[in-house]
């Protein structure tokens, strides 16, 4: 069953910039208000033109609502995630974390098989508000890949 | 057995820019002199700082030796490959082709399991001279990932 509001976030290691820099998502969210967005793929048109940019441009709004961090997760390797963050000017606003092996997407039960177009199982597009490790709001795109309910304006209204 | 000099290149579809733009490697090399380089991963430090750049900067030397096209292949999705090519200013010099599902790496028997750091099975680093669909020279890095024999200067001397 997919993760839902009220659930505790699973403890999974993600990677930032390089394959050796582990970031445990349970540790990262402990005692904090964190927005996590999941995306099907770095550099894909929808993720690059609407989804991630909406969070980067609304960074100050999230900050003023008490959000400590915004994290973007995709099943891509850490080098690709870092390059995508650089390309999108995410630095200092959205942390780009690699779910290298898809362990986080699997633990959330939010996998999306995109083997055909992208080569492997990725993550459904979602936005999530996490407070002290517990999911407080979750918006998963109905088709897994569109960008409507998971855009920044919706979760901003849920904080 | 890995592909070797004298072998016919397998007929495998690769993808350019998007998951719908198929490029068959056997068709691409028919009647032409083509350099194919295989790399473990787009945006990885070694591929981005020495291997691919050596081919981009030596583009004119390859042209003057009668090479019709230079192609870079990696087990990454087409969006990531296109973004990497843009980042490296490869446009017009090296075509960035996605071996999305690793079918080409597998057909060449040049796979490299990088599940730990990069999340899946990738491609060993190599350079290859192909004339009318037949392999005329092949340099595979002994450890699969280093950048020595597969750099541009070596295969330039083999044309």
Residue to substitute from A14, A17, A76, A79, interface B, most B β-carbons within 10 A: A79
Handedness of CA A40, A46, A47, A52 (dihedral sign): negative
**ipTM above 0.90 for this complex:** yes
* Interchain proximity A100–B84, CB inside 8 Å: no
Question: pLDDT tens track of chain B, all 159 residues?
Answer: 999 999 999 999 999 999 999 999 999 999 999 999 999 999 998 777 788 999 999 999 999 999 999 999 999 999 999 999 999 999 999 999 999 999 999 999 999 999 999 999 999 999 999 999 999 999 999 988 888 899 999 999 999
pTM comes to 0.95
Q: Report how far residue A125's alpha carbon sits from residue A13's, in angstroms, rounded to the nearest whole number.
A: 19
- The catalytic site residues of A sit at 47
Chain A: closest CA distance from residue B79 (Å)? 6
Buried b (16+ CB within 10 A) or exposed e, A58-94: bbeebeeeebebbbbbbbbbbbbbbbbbeebebeebb
Per-residue pLDDT of chain A (159 residues; tens, 9 = 90+): 999 999 999 999 999 999 999 999 999 999 999 999 999 999 998 777 788 999 999 999 999 999 999 999 999 999 999 999 999 999 999 999 999 999 999 999 999 999 999 999 999 999 999 999 999 999 999 988 888 899 999 999 999
Partner B contacted by A117 (CB < 8 A): yes
Phi, psi of B111 (to 5 degrees): -75, 160
B52 and B46 Cβ atoms separated by less than 8 Å:
no
The domains located in chain A, with CATH, are 13-156 (3.40.30.10)
Strand partners, A129: A35, A137
Q: Tell me phi and psi for residue B128, to 5 degrees.
A: -145, 135
DSSP result, B127-145? EEEEETTEEEEEEE-TTSS
Facing residue for A44 by CB, picked from B43, B79, B98: B79
Subunit contact B119:A84, Cβ cutoff 8 A? no
DSSP β-bridge partners for residue A128: A36, A138
């Amino acid at each position: 069953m997919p993760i839902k509001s009220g659930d505790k976030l699973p403890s999974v290691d993600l990677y930032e910039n390089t394959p050796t820099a582990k970031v445990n998502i349970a540790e990262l969210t402990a005692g904090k208000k964190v927005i996590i967005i999941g995306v099907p793929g770095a550099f894909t048109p929808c993720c690059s033109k609407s989804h991630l940019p909406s969070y980067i441009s609304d960074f100050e709004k999230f900050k003023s609502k008490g959000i400590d961090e915004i994290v973007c997760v995709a099943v891509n390797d850490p080098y690709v995630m870092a390059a995508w963050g650089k390309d999108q000017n995410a630095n200092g606003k959205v942390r780009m974390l690699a779910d290298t092996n898809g362990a986080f997407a699997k633990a959330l039960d939010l996998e999306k098989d995109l083997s055909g177009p992208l080569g492997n199982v990725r993550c459904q597009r979602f936005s999530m508000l996490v407070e002290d490790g517990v999911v407080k709001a979750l918006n998963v795109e109905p088709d897994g890949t569109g960008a409507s309910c998971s855009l920044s304006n919706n979760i901003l209204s849920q904080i």
